[in-house]
Amino acid sequence: MFSIDKIRADFPILKREVHGKKLVYLDNGATSQTPQVVIDTIVDYYSNYNANIHRGVHTLSQEATDKYEEARIKIQKHFNAKHPYEIILTSGTTHGVNIVASGFASILKEGDEIIVSALEHHSNIVPWQMLCEKTGAILKVIPMDEDGSLRMDIYHELLNPKTKLVFCNHVSNALGTINPIKEIIHAAHKFGAYVLIDGAQAVPHIKPDVQALDADFYVASAHKMCGPTGVGMLYGKEELLKLLPPYQGGGEMIETVTFEKTTYAGLPHKFEAGTPNICGGIAFGVAVDYMNSVGFSNIEKQENELLSYATQELEKIEGLKIYGTSNKTSVISFNLEGIHPYDVGAILDKLGVAVRTGHHCAQPIMDFYCIPGTVRASFSFYNTKEEVDVLVNAVKKAQMMLS
């Protein structure tokens, strides 16, 4: 049984006040809040078994290793990867993207083509531009439509035998658009191209099945789904992870080292050089457990209700324009006519409402709409309709003060 009161009681930060007002946290697209069970896991690690992993024979090291690898298995099962070693624990989505981009630098050749969508976060644009500069590959872009959806007709026209890689986010961070990634993956595979899906904005709302999607690579961050910052995951099909060279050299990713030659460890350690974020990885596994205990069907129902209600109420405000109106998750990006989004965000903060303002690391989207940025309210399952009412009244007050 989903109880919003019980859910909210799991998040201590929701009891805080900001500028003398009860906090209304609507910046979940940037980072979600952390439940007590995850906080307790972090405290427990540093209080009781803080030690380096994999190589130690002492008790603390073995305990930490066991819990870290248990977390990997939790993440594997959550995303339905075939093997635990197909889950590479990273510092976050950006790290995962860069591992793949770096690996393909030795594989692509001049004239090869790669495709990216117009809806991408900079983290899923810049590494591919850098890859093109290194290899001579050509970057093509799937354009977007006015409603925030991708022009899939043009995507299918872009695909050809020269296409080697395709990159697309599962959900747009700036607009909330849910992209048709199954169609994107299936079409790319017909031409022998590999596909990386940026799942950072999807994983708080959707439980992706990487095998059902047939994704070649899928990346995500823990801090978007009730986990800590500084940890994430890269899923890759076993044969592709074996194909790519190591991203970094150092400890843990080696099998043998001599001054004449070094051989590399097998998966997943080949891509996990150095001491990892051990505590973060363990807490990531606990966050996955927590999200599943809430239930993604419950999460979807609650967030869809919030999205529908907030859209309805915000659209009543004269001079307010919402960007991105196609099939989407619980994100509303909007502007007030004649008012800079930063100024709106500053007023909302004084009224206790936390939103994100700016281009959201998605400048091409803002350029498409010819705007400097937007105000973005992003909802999570622990938000309420009462908080939506506070947002709407705060937007009205900001409009009155700034007009």
CATH number at residue 180: 3.40.640.10
**74 belongs to a structural domain:** yes
150 with 230, same domain: the answer is yes
- The question of whether 168 is a catalytic residue gets the answer no
**35 belongs to a structural domain:** no
Per-position pLDDT tens, the chain of length 403: 799 999 999 999 999 999 999 999 999 999 999 999 999 999 999 999 999 999 788 999 999 999 999 999 999 999 999 999 999 999 999 999 999 999 999 999 999 999 999 999 999 999 999 999 999 999 999 999 999 999 999 999 999 999 999 999 999 999 999 999 999 999 999 999 999 999 999 999 999 999 999 999 999 999 999 999 999 999 999 999 999 988 877 766 667 767 777 767 788 999 998 899 999 999 999 999 999 999 999 999 999 999 999 999 999 999 999 999 999 999 999 999 999 999 999 999 999 999 999 999 999 999 999 999 999 999 999 999 999 999 999 999 999 999 8
265 with 121, same domain: the answer is yes
Q: 250, 269, 292: which is the final residue of a domain?
A: 292
Taking CA atoms, 45 is separated from 51, 201, 221, 280, in Å, by 9, 28, 20, 10
Structural tokens at position 179: 């992209």
Nearest to 221 by CA among 206, 205, 234: 234
Please state, in angstroms and rounded to a whole number, the distance separating the CA atoms of residues 303 and 299: 6
139 with 93, same domain: the answer is yes
- The secondary element (H helix, E strand) that includes residue 358 is strand 356-358
264 with 302, same domain: the answer is no
Please say whether the beta carbons of 332 and 311 come within 8 A.
yes
pLDDT at 251: 67
Length of the chain, in residues: 403
Structural tokens at position 277: 């974020």
104 with 153, same domain: the answer is yes
DSSP code at position 245: P
375 with 244, same domain: the answer is no
375 lies in which domain range?
4-27+295-402
Q: 243, 267, 292: which is the final residue of a domain?
A: 292
77 with 16, same domain: the answer is no
pLDDT at 372: 95
Catalytic residue among 132, 168, 361, 370: 361
Total domains present in the chain: 2
| Burial per residue of 227-257, b for 16 or more beta-carbon CB atoms within 10 angstroms, e otherwise | bbebbbbbbbbeebbeebebbeeeebbbeee
CA dihedral 167, 237, 190, 180 (to 10 degrees): -50
276 with 354, same domain: the answer is no
pLDDT at 253: 67
* pTM score, whole prediction: 0.95
Helices (H), 136-196: 152-158, 181-190
Coil, strand, or helix at residue 182?
helix
231 with 319, same domain: the answer is no
State phi, psi for 164 to the nearest 5 degrees: -110, -30
**34 belongs to a structural domain:** no
Neighbours of 382 (CB within 10 A): 23
**324 belongs to a structural domain:** yes
75 with 211, same domain: the answer is yes
Q: Using alpha carbons only, give the angle 387, 392, 398 rounded to the nearest 5 degrees.
A: 125
CATH of the domain at 321: 3.90.1150.10
